Structure 1
Amino acid sequence: MLTEERYLALLNEYIARDIPAGSVMDKEVTLNELTKLFHCTERNVKLIVRKLEEEELIVWHPGRGRGNRSRIEFRVPRDEFLLQYAQRLADKGEYRTAFEVLNQYEEDQVVLDQFMKWLNGQFGYSEEENSNSAGCIDLFRLPVYRAPLTLDPANLFHSFDAHLTRQIFDRLVQYESDENSKVVPMLAHHWESNDDGTQWVFHLRKGVRFHHKRELTAHDVVFTFNRLRNRSMNEWLLFTMDRVEALNPITVKIVLKQPNWLLPRMLCSACAAILPADLVSEDEEKFWRMPIGTGAFRLTHWSSNLINLSVNTEYFLGRAYLDAVNIVILPEEIPGSSRLRWEKLIDNEARFPSKPEKDWNQIESFGKNCSLISWNRNKPGPQQSLSFRQAVNLIIDRRQLIQDVERGAPARGFLPREERLASSAFRYDRDAALQLLQESGYDGTPLDLITTLHQSEDASWFAEQCASVGINVRINYVTVSECSDEGIGAEADCILTCLAFADDEVCQLETYLQSQSFIYNHMEHNLRRWIFGIAKEILATASIEARSALFQQIEFRLQDEAQFLFLVHRKINTYVHPSIRGIGINRLGWMDFKDIWLTSPICDCDE
C-alpha cells in the first residue's frame, strides 16, 4: 500500500468529511488499532507512521505512560489531499486509479468536479521544451475514453482505430469529400484501367519513405494486398481481386475476377493502408507493438494509458504543423456528465457536458452516421417474427427520442439524405404495434439487448418504450472491444450501435460484407446471399446513379424485412478553442492532425 493510500485510509477511518475548514484535525489512537487498519504488525505500523511524518502528512504524538493513548495530528485536509493525490496519479498516467480513488464515495463529487476542471486544463495546445534539442515543440494533448483495439489496417473495425491508422499509414489513393467528392492521388500519383474495369495499374510516387527511412516500392503494395486478401477480417475489400503484381519498382498491376469500378474508391479505405513488407515479414508480432508507416506522424509510444505521435518531418505531402500529438486514454466508465470538453474534438459519440466559453468556435453538422437496432435472426427468440420487429418499430417515436436524449434527425436508412431529413413520414402508432404483437404470438419472453456504456441513455429510452407495450428488455453493457466480438453478438437478441460511414458506398458494402461483424452475422443466410449478389453487381456498374439504385434495392429489402430498426442520424457539435486553426471533421467524425495549426504567444522557452 502506498503512503498516500495509507494516509487516505487514516482520514477515512478517523476524520469526518464534513469537518469545518480550519478545524484542528487530530484523533486519539492506539498502535493496536492501526495494526488492524493496515493489516500488519506493530513494528510495520511504526515504520508507516515514521514514513507519514517524513512526508509531512501527520504529526505523531506518542502516549506517555500506561493507559495514555497516542494522538495523530492530520496536516492536510481530506478534500485537499484527495485532489492532490488524484492529480499526482494523473501526472504519472495512472488515470484509471485516479478515478477509482475519487469514485469510492458519493460524498467526494465536489472533489471529482475540481479534479475534472484541473484535468481539462491539462489538454489542448501547449508549447514545451524539446528534450532532444533547443527550442520548443508545438504539442497537442487530447483525451479519449477507449484505447484502440488494433492499428493493423487489415483488422480494423472501429472508427477511432481507423482514424489513428490514417495518421501513421497512407493508402495508394484518398477520398476527398469536398463538393466534387472524388478520389485523388496519395502514394500513387496516377492510375488507369482497361475498358471493362478488370485490370488496374497504379503508378507510385518516387522517393516516398517509411518512418524507418526505407523507400516504398511496388513490392510493399503487393505484400500488403496479398496479406489483406488472405488473412484478415477485411478481406471483403479485395474479394474481386485475382492477383496483384509488381510490373517494376514503382508500378503495380491488379487483375480482377470481375469488373470493379469502385476499386479506387475501396482502396481509399484505411484497411488498404500500405505496410513495409520487410519489417512485417521479419517479426510481425514485434512490428504491431510499434507499427511503422509512411504517414504524417510516426508512433513513438503506445501503452494502455498513452499514445504519442511525433511529426514525420519528411512527409511526402508536406510536413504537419504540429510537432507532436499525445492521446491520453481515460477510463471508459467515466460518466458522460464528468467528461471533458477537449474530448469532443476527436470523439463524436460522447455527450457534450457543459457550455463552452463564449469565444470557442462551434462546428455543427450531420455526421454520416446512423444509430440503429440490429435484430439477430440467427438465434431463437421473439425477434424471429416479422410482426414482432414491425411492432417494435411502430412504438419508437424518433422525434421524442431526439427531444429526450439525442441531437439529430430521425433515421429511415443508413445515410442522412436530404429527402429523409425533410420528410415527416415517421410513423409512430402504439395501437398498431399492439395488434402486430398479438399477431406475432409474443409471450412476454425478455429481449436481451447488448450495447456499450456510450449508448446507455439511448438503450434505457428504448427499453422504456418497449415496456410501454409489455416487452421486457434486458440491457447488457459491454466494452467497445467486446461489442465487436462475434460470440457476444451471436448471444444477443439485438444490438444497439451507431455506424459511421467514412465513404458512403464503400462503408455500406463493408456493413453488408464484413464477415466478422455482428450485422453480417445477424442477417439470415438467404438475405446475406442475396446481398452478396447485388454487391457484385454494384462493383461491376460504372454509373454512380445505377449503383445508387442498387444500394436502394438492398435498403428497401432490409426495411421490408425490418432487419434493422433505424433510430437517429446524430448531429455532430464540435467545440474548438480559438487558438486552434485548420480544424476540419473528416468523414470518420474525427479531425486530421496534419491540418491543425495553432496560434499562441511567442515561446519563452530558454534558448
Structure 2
Amino acid sequence: MKIRRHLFQLREAYPHVEDGVPIEVTTAELAEKLDCTHRNMVLLLKRMTEEGWVGWTAKRGRGNRSLLTFERPLDKLLLEEAEELAMRGDLQSAFELLQNKGAGSAALGRFQQWLSGQFGFRSTLDGQRRTDSLRFPLPGAIGSLDPARIHFIGESHLVSQLFDGLVRVDARGEIVLPHLAHAWETNEDRTEWTFYLRKGVMFHHGREMTSADVRFTLERLQRLAPGGLYNWVYHGIEDMLTPDSTTIRIRLKQRNEVFLSFLSTNRASIVPEDVCSSEGESFGEADGSVIGTGPFRLASRGHGIWMLEAFPAYFQGRAFLDRVEVWTIPLEEEAEKDRQQQELRQFQVMHNVRIEGLTGGQFQQVRQSGTTCKFITVNELKPGPLRNPAIRAALDRAIHRGELLRQLSGDVIEGASSFWTTEKNGGPSDSRGISYEDECVAIKQELRDAGYLGETLTLTTIPQYGHDASIIQGLLEKAGVSVSVSLLPAEQFKGAERMSADLLLFAVMLDEHREIRLIDLYKSMMQHAEPQVRAKVADTLERILAEPDASARTRLFIGIEGLLSLRHSLLFLYRKHLKTAFHPSVQGISLESLGWVRFRDLWFR
C-alpha cells in the first residue's frame, strides 16, 4: 500500500536508528525528509501509528522535540509489501523492492518460501463451469517471444506453447512427424521439398494459416536475422513457390539432410504475415503482438508474469488446462541454489532441477533425454601465445577436469570428452596419477618450456556462464596462466566482438537437434580457425549435409571433433543432465525430447 512506501522512505532517512529506540525529531524535519507539507506529515504519522508501525509522542512548545519510534522491523514491512505486489501481478516490482530497499537475505528467503506456496494447480467453480489453472515458475527473464529472436531456454519453452512448426520430432529425436504440414515429398537429389498444409489451422487472431505465411516466415528470417541461429539453413533456400493456399514448394541451393530438422525447431515457427508486416520489429517484443497457432495464446504480460490461455480452435484439440500463469523468477547467486532446491519441492511441475532425497512418493523425476555440454574453443587467429600448439596443450591440462567437477559438484554433472560418445572422462589433466598441486607445478614448467611469458589471456562468455568462467579462471591461474574474464550479452557474443578473445566458453544442447546445433557450432568455430583447419572442417560439413545415412554422418561429426581436440582447439569441460520433476497429482505428463512439459497435455485429478 502507498502509506507503507512513505514509511520506507522515512526509515531510509534514519538508517542507523534501531527499532524500538525513540529519537527526538520535529514534524517539520520529517516533512522535509518526505518532501511533503506539515499537514500531510501529520496525517501520515496518524496512519502509521494506527497501523502500529511507529510510535509518536508529540510535544508542544518552542524548543520541544517530539519522540519517534520505529516499532516494526523493516524486513517484515518489506516482505508484506512484496507479497501484496506479487498478488497484484507485479512480481518484478516485488523483487526490485526487496533488492533495492536493503532487505536482508533472511527476508528474501522468506519471500521465496511464501512465493513457492503460490505455485501449482488451482481449480475454481462458477456455477457448473470449472476453470483449471496452473501457476508455473520459470527461472530467469523473458526478453522476446519472437521465434526469430529468442536466445534462452525459457523463451524457447514459451514459444513452443504459443507457436507451431511445419513438422516436429518425436521424443526420441529419431523420427520427423507431421505437424502444420500433414505430408511432404522431395525430389531425388533432395533439393526440392513440397509441403502440404493442414486445412483450417487458425492463428490466435482468427485468420486461417496459409502457404503464404510459411513463405513469409522463412523470408522474414533471411531478412530479420541474417546472422541468427541456423542462418546457413534458411540462407540456403533458392526460392519458394506457393501454387495454392495449402501447398508450398521450397527449392534449396544444395542438398541439406538436416533441413527437416531445422523446420522442427522453434526458430522456424510459423508467424502470421499480416500481423508481422504491420508491426515490423515490434512483433514478439514487449510492445508488440505474440500470435501463433499454438495450443495456448498470450492473454497478458507484464511485471514478470506471463498469462497464457487455452486456444479453443487449436487444430490438435483444446488443452485441458484453461490458463497457465508463468511467473519468471530472477536467478539467484550460486550460493543460493541449495536453498532454492528446498523451496522448489512445493512446486507441482519443475524443469531443469536437481532434487535430492525425494521420499514418500512426493515427486517423480524424469531424466531429460537432452544434455548440455560445456566446452572452450581457442581463437587460433589471434596473435599471441595460443598460436603455439604446445601452449594450447598445457593450457588444456591446466583446466584440471577432476578439480573442475569437484568445484561444480552435483549428481547431474559428469566429465565429457565428446559431443557423441557417453563415456565419462576426467580430461587430459587427470590421467597421470599425481595430485592436483603437483600437476599445477608440472604444468607451470611445461608452459615455461613452451615459451609462455605470462601474457594475460581473455576468456569470453555470456553472463549466464560467468560462474563457470570464474572457476576456469581460478584453475588456469593456479597453473600460472593469467586470465581476464569478459562477459558479453548473447546477441553480442555471436558477433565480431568475440574475435578479440583468446578463449571462448559456451555450451551446446545435445538433443534431437544435435546435428544442426553442431553444424552451427562448427561454422562459428571456423571463423577463428587456421585456414587449413577451416578448409578441412568446411569440406566435412559439406559431406555431412549430403550424407543420407545417419550413422555415417555421426562418424563424420566425430572426425571433426577429433581433429579439433587433437589440436587442443576444442576443450571439453563437462556434461550436465537435466531433470523434470512433477507431483503425482499431475496427469498427462508428456515430455518433448528437450524435457519440457507440454502444457496442452496436462490435467489434474
The answer to whether TM tops 0.5 is yes
Please list, as runs of the form range in 1=range in 2, the aligned pairs for 1:199-278 lying within 5 A after superposition: 199-232=192-225, 233=228, 234-278=230-274
Give the corresponding residue for 2:175: 182
Cα pair 1:310 1:325 within 8 Å, conserved: yes
Tell me the distance in 1 between the aligned counterparts of 2:320 and 2:530: 49
Deviation at 1:206, TM superposition (A): 1.6
1:469 aligned to which of 454, 479, 493: 479
Residue 605 of structure 1 corresponds to which residue in structure 2? none
CA distance in 1, matches of 2:90, 2:332: 15
Matched, 1:308 2:307: yes
State the alpha-carbon separation in 2 of the partners of residues 345 and 485 from structure 1.
Answer: 33
Residue 370 of structure 1: how far off its partner (Å): 0.3
Q: Deviations over 1:499-528 (max 9, x none)?
A: 213412122122234x6xxx5654456544
Distance 1:38-1:278 versus aligned 2 partners, 3 A rule:
closer
For 2:134, the equivalent position in structure 1 comes to: 140
Question: Which one is further off, 71-80 or 202-211?
Answer: 71-80
Question: Which of 81, 88, 92 does residue 85 from structure 1 map onto?
Answer: 81
Aligned AA for 1:4?
Answer: R
| Residue pair 1:341, 1:352 contacting (<8 A) in 2 also | no
Contact map agreement 2:371 2:577 (CA 8 A) in 1: no
Residues 353 and 67 of structure 1: CA distance in aligned 2, closer, same or farther (over 3 Å): farther
- Is the contact between residue 141 and residue 330 of structure 2 (CA under 8 Å) also seen in structure 1? no
- The answer to which of 280-289 and 295-304 deviates more is 280-289
For residues 256 and 488 of structure 2, what CA distance do their matches in structure 1 show? Answer: 38
Amino acid at match of 2:519: L
Letter in 2 for 1:561: R
- Aligned counterpart in structure 1 of residue 364 of structure 2, from 333, 347, 361: 361
Report what 1:157 is aligned to. 151
Aligned pair in 2 of structure 1 residues 594, 489: CA closer, same or farther (>3 Å)? farther
Cα distance, 1:121 vs structure 2: 0.8
- Paired letter, 2:257: W
Q: Distance in 2 between matches of 1:524 and 1:171?
A: 38
Which residue of structure 1 lines up, in the alignment, with residue 436 of structure 2? none
Whether the 8 Å contact between 2:371 and 2:578 is mirrored in structure 1 is no
1:310: how far off? 1.2
Provide, for residues 453-478 of structure 1, a one-character-per-residue CA deviation record: whole Å limited to 9, x for no partner: 54344333222211221112233455
Alignment gaps of 5+ in structure 2: 433-438
Which residue number corresponds to residue 505 of structure 1?
515
Amino acid at match of 2:6: R
How far did 1:292 drift?
1.0
Offset of residue 295 of structure 1: 0.9
User: Counterpart amino acid of 1:301?
Assistant: S
Would the aligned equivalents of 1:290 and 1:300 in 2 still touch at CA under 8 Å?
no
Taking the TM superposition and a 5 Å limit, the aligned residue runs for 1:20-419 are: 26-35=22-31, 37-38=33-34, 42=38, 45-46=41-42, 48-50=44-46, 52-53=48-49, 57-74=53-70, 76-103=72-99, 108-128=104-124, 135-178=129-172, 181-232=174-225, 233=228, 234-288=230-284, 289-303=288-302, 305-332=304-331, 336-337=336-337, 339=340, 341=344, 348=352, 352=354, 358=360, 359-365=362-368, 367-406=370-409, 407-415=412-420, 417-418=421-422
- What secondary structure does 1:307 align onto? strand
d(CA) in 1 for partners of 2:271 and 2:25?
A: 64
Distance 1:488 1:547 in 2: 32
The alignment partner of 1:116 has SS state of helix
Question: Could you tell me the percent identity over the aligned residues?
Answer: 32
After superposition, the Cα gap between the structure-2 partners of 1:30 and 1:403, relative to the gap in structure 1 and judged at 3 Å, is same
Contact 1:304 1:329 in 2 (8 A): no
Alpha-carbon distance in structure 2 between the residues aligned to 1:508 and 1:409: 20
Q: Any residues of structure 2 matched to 1:548-559 within 5 Å, and which?
A: 548-559=554-565
Q: Structure 1 length as normaliser, TM-score?
A: 0.85
Instruction: Tell me the equivalent position of 2:435.
Output: none
Range with bigger deviation, 256-265 or 93-102: 93-102
Q: Distance in 1 between matches of 2:426 and 2:111?
A: 45
- Which moved further from structure 2: 219-228 or 1-10? 1-10
State whether residues 90 and 305 of structure 2, in contact with CA within 8 Å, keep that contact through their aligned partners in structure 1. Answer: no
Q: TM-score, structure 2 length as denominator?
A: 0.85
Determine if contact 1:229/1:239 at 8 Å carries over to the other structure: yes
Q: Deviations over 1:424-473 (max 9, x none)?
A: 77543636633542244222222333345543443332222112211122
Checking the alignment, whether the CA contact within 8 Å between 1:333 and 1:453 is kept in structure 2 is: no
In structure 2, give the amino acid aligned to 1:296: P
Contact 2:457/2:482 (8 A) holds in 1 = yes
Are residues 380 and 572 of structure 1, via their aligned partners in 2, closer, same or farther at CA, if it must alter by over 3 Å?
Answer: same
Question: How far, CA to CA, are the matches of 1:274 and 1:330 in structure 2?
Answer: 28
- Mean CA deviation greater in 103-112 or 134-143: 103-112
Q: 1:99 to 1:271 in 2, by over 3 A?
A: closer
Structure 1 residues 538 and 511: alpha-carbon distance in aligned structure 2, compared to 1, 3 A threshold: same
Distance of 1:316 and 1:558 partners within structure 2: 46
For residue 443 of structure 1, what is the amino acid of its counterpart? L
Q: Return closer, same or farther for 1:244/1:105 CA change in 2, 3 Å cut-off.
A: closer
Contact 1:159 1:500 in 2 (8 A): no
Q: How far did residue 190 of structure 1 move?
A: 1.3
Shifted more, 117-126 versus 332-341: the winner is 332-341
Residue 560 of structure 2 aligns to which amino acid in structure 1? I
Secondary structure of 1:138's partner? Answer: strand
CA contact (8 A) 1:138 1:323 kept: yes
Q: C-alpha displacement at 1:564, in angstroms? A: 2.5
Equivalent-residue separation in structure 2 for 1:496 and 1:531 (angstroms): 20
TM-aligned CA deviation for residue 565 of structure 1: 1.8
> Hey, what does 2:550 align to over in structure 1?
544
Give the letter for the 2:316 counterpart.
L
Q: CA 1:78/1:576 → structure 2, altered by over 3 Å: closer, same or farther?
A: same
The change in CA–CA distance for 1:223 and 1:161 in structure 2 (over 3 A counts) is: same
Matched, 1:445 2:455: yes
| C-alpha distance after superposition, 1:247-287 (max 9, x if no partner) | 32222212222222332222111111112222222332453
Cα distance in 2 for partners of 1:284, 1:123 equals 36
Give the whole-Å Cα distance in 1 for the aligned partners of 2:282 and 2:426.
55
- Structure 1, 372-381 or 534-543: larger mean CA deviation: 372-381
Which whole-Å CA distance do the structure 2 matches of 1:355 and 1:60 have between them? 51
Are residues 166 and 526 of structure 1, via their aligned partners in 2, closer, same or farther at CA, if it must alter by over 3 Å?
Answer: farther
Q: Give the aligned CA root-mean-square deviation in angstroms.
A: 3.3
**SS of 1:137 mapped into structure 2:** strand
Deviation of the 1:193 alpha carbon: 1.4
Offset of residue 183 of structure 1: 0.4
Provide the rounded CA distance (Å) in 2 between the counterparts of 1:398 and 1:584: 35
Counterpart for residue 502 of structure 2: 493
TM superposition shift of 1:152: 2.4
- Shift of the 389–105 alpha-carbon distance from structure 1 to 2, 3 Å rule, reads farther
Query: d(CA) in 2 for partners of 1:344 and 1:380?
Result: 53
User: Number of residue pairs matched?
Assistant: 582
Deviation at 1:187, TM superposition (A): 0.9
The CA deviation string for residues 78-99 of structure 1, in whole angstroms up to 9 with x for no partner, is 3432221221232344444433
Out of 548-557 and 325-334, give the one that drifted further: 325-334
Contact kept, 8 Å, 1:345 with 1:590, in 2: the verdict is no
Aligned to 1:7: 7
C-alpha distance in structure 2 between counterparts of 1:219 and 1:36, whole Å: 64
Contact 2:305 2:327 in 1 (8 A): yes
Q: Distance in 2 between matches of 1:507 and 1:29?
A: 66
- List alignment gaps of at least 5 residues for structure 1: 600-607
Contact 2:349 2:583 (8 Å CA) reproduced? no
Shift of 1:12: 5.6
Assess if the C-alpha contact under 8 Å between 2:380 and 2:530 holds in 1. Answer: yes
